[in-house]
Amino acid sequence: MTKIGRNDPCPCGSGRKYKQCCMRLHEAMAGSGPPVPGAPWPAPADNAPSLIALGDAHPAQGALEAAAEHYREALRIGPESPEAHARLGGVLQAQGLLEEAAAAYRSALALRPDSPELSSNLGNALHGLGRYEEAVECFGRALALKPDSAQVHGNLGLSYQALGRLDAAIEAQRQALRLEPRYAAAHFNLGLALQLRERLDEAIQSYRRALEFMPEYAQLHSNLGAALEKQGRVEEALASYQRAIELDPLLVAAQVGKSSLLAAAVPSWHVPMMNDTPRNHAYLEALKAAVSPQTRVLEIGTGSGLLAMMAAKCGAKTVTTCEAESLIAASARGIIEENGLASRIRVISKLSSDLTLGEDLKERADVLVCEIFSSELLGERVLASIEDAKRRLLEPGCRVIPAAGSVMIALFGGAALADNLRVGQVCGFDLSRFNAIAHRKRELRRPDLALEMLCDGIEAFRLDFERDDFFPPERRLLRIPVRSGGRCQGIVQWIRLEMDPHNRFENHPAAKTTGSGWEHIAYVLESPLELSPGQTVLVAAAHNRVFPWFTLAGVE
């Protein structure tokens, strides 16, 4: 009977050619050879090489879990196989299981320490975990063994950039491009490092060079838009943002960039936030529970100094608070002095990321208090600030107030609100074309107009500030059951703060307060949507660590 040829369909049923799928498996299975058509599927020999070959066949078919199990079985038979450890690491990394992938790469490196590829792969896994210093060390070892790898130089540059070492990042990307001038990712990442360094002309040049090689990359168009916007080149920036959105409607940075160009003003929120009684009470109760005479408190975002004074009144041993805006910091110092607490509170006019342990703080703090949340929770780069503080300035296992925060959403309607969200016929004229240039994301600033909730509140994203040390971007599809029928105008968003296990604050749209610095945010639909009870609305949700974004994905 004729054997199966290299270009024949693979007998495993994958639909791929035999040479592209399981040929290596059968070659590794001693004595089996290529199967004949219709013959039973041969069992692999009970040895590690065969199991590794079987695992190698699965990723081509998309069965990563099955591949991982074959590699694990190979390791049970032959635990000293660097190939099996390395392949297991690759499959785990593809599944997003980065901690396990890093452990597998370390096991492979223990057996083959002179492998630049293994050091590089471990560096990539550690970078994905936010362990950038360790990633730099791994990439350095890889380059010591193979200094001419453009890709490793580029990855090293990304880790330097994550650590804020921008000059080193720029040099690493330039070295990658010296080795491979057409390396598109290096052009892109060089542009980003230059942009962060405020070298905008050079950044734009690098982005445009990258566009020659990857013109369909949405993030590249978005970054170019941001650089052009900083130079005041509004029309060019808007065109770049728009192209990015056409390529990826859920690219948050591009949506926000375009929205910011269309927005007319920035609200003044400090005074109403100081007068938000429920919010103030929630922070005070949490501080009472967390602070003792031995507690060292660090606050990020001084504002008026209110929370720092609360911490001092609760009996904290030391209170250090930082404020990036020098005018606000000076005002806070005066307020603190007028309230008789100047000897117990130190106000530092710096970003928290610029604080130095041993200089600005004598010791690591036991309690972190944050009040730098925007109406969207994330908009003041709170995640990066918390990550940095926990890494450099806080004791392990410290208390964080609030301990967690959630981005909440619901479908909303309300005839009274409609005229504030879109325009149609006015005085006999059709003005609806104007809706196309009105930004989709805006604050709901009419508490006098009734907002109708068409569903229960949905927790879109939850971030545990106390437990977690790293917060990656997220995307998800939310299924929202409709509770009340009506004309849906859009998606309303608010925030919920878990101060501690017993104390929660939420600026729910139904809650009324005379003062609040947090507004409700509306994501306005392109056209109103008639909904009935029992329907399910699909909402695509994303955040990029700085801003969330929500858009309608369908109705069931």
| Residue from 528, 463, 436 nearest 491 by CA | 528
Structure tokens at 493: 């968003």
Q: What is the rounded distance in angstroms from the CA atom of residue 335 to the CA atom of residue 480?
A: 46
Structure tokens at 280: 């103030």
Other C-beta atoms closer than 10 Å to the C-beta of 327 total: 9
Angle between helices 132-145 and 150-162 (to 10 degrees): 160
Q: What is the rounded distance in angstroms from the CA atom of residue 16 to the CA atom of residue 33?
A: 18
| Residue from 185, 190, 105 nearest 139 by CA | 105
> Residue 169, class by beta-carbon neighbours within 10 Å (0-12 exposed, 13-18 middle, 19+ buried)?
buried
Residue 261 · residue 237 · CB < 8 Å: yes
Angle at the Cα of 501 (from 377 to 507), degrees rounded to 5? Answer: 35
pLDDT of residue 169: 97
pLDDT of residue 37: 47
| Residue from 366, 354, 352, 338 nearest 302 by CA | 352
> Residue 92, class by beta-carbon neighbours within 10 Å (0-12 exposed, 13-18 middle, 19+ buried)?
buried
The amino acid sitting at 303 is: G
Structure tokens at 525: 């639909």
pLDDT of residue 198: 95
The three state secondary structure string of 383-448 is HHHHHHHHHHCEEEEEEEECCEEEEEEEEEECHHHHCCCCCCEECCEECHHHHHHCCCEEEECCCC
Other C-beta atoms closer than 10 Å to the C-beta of 445 total: 12
Angle at the Cα of 436 (from 430 to 438), degrees rounded to 5? Answer: 100
State whether residue 299 is helix, strand or coil: strand
pLDDT of residue 91: 85
pTM, entire model: 0.66
CA of 59: how far to CAs of 9, 20, 62, 102, in Å? 17, 11, 5, 19
Place of tokens 């606050």: 299
pLDDT of residue 44: 44
Q: What is the rounded distance in angstroms from the CA atom of residue 262 to the CA atom of residue 435?
A: 12
Place of tokens 């050879």: 33
The amino acid sitting at 459 is: E
pLDDT of residue 46: 46
State whether residue 342 is helix, strand or coil: coil
Signed CA dihedral, 209, 213, 215, 216: sign only? negative
pLDDT of residue 173: 96
pLDDT by 10-residue block (mean), the chain, 556 residues: 63 56 51 45 46 52 70 79 86 90 92 93 94 96 95 96 96 97 96 96 97 96 95 86 96 92 50 84 95 96 93 96 84 94 95 94 95 90 95 95 97 89 91 88 84 95 96 96 94 96 92 79 93 96 96 94
| Residue from 289, 252, 315, 314 nearest 403 by CA | 289
State whether residue 424 is helix, strand or coil: coil
pLDDT of residue 33: 46
CA of 224: how far to CAs of 105, 171, 191, 245, 543, in Å? 36, 21, 9, 13, 20
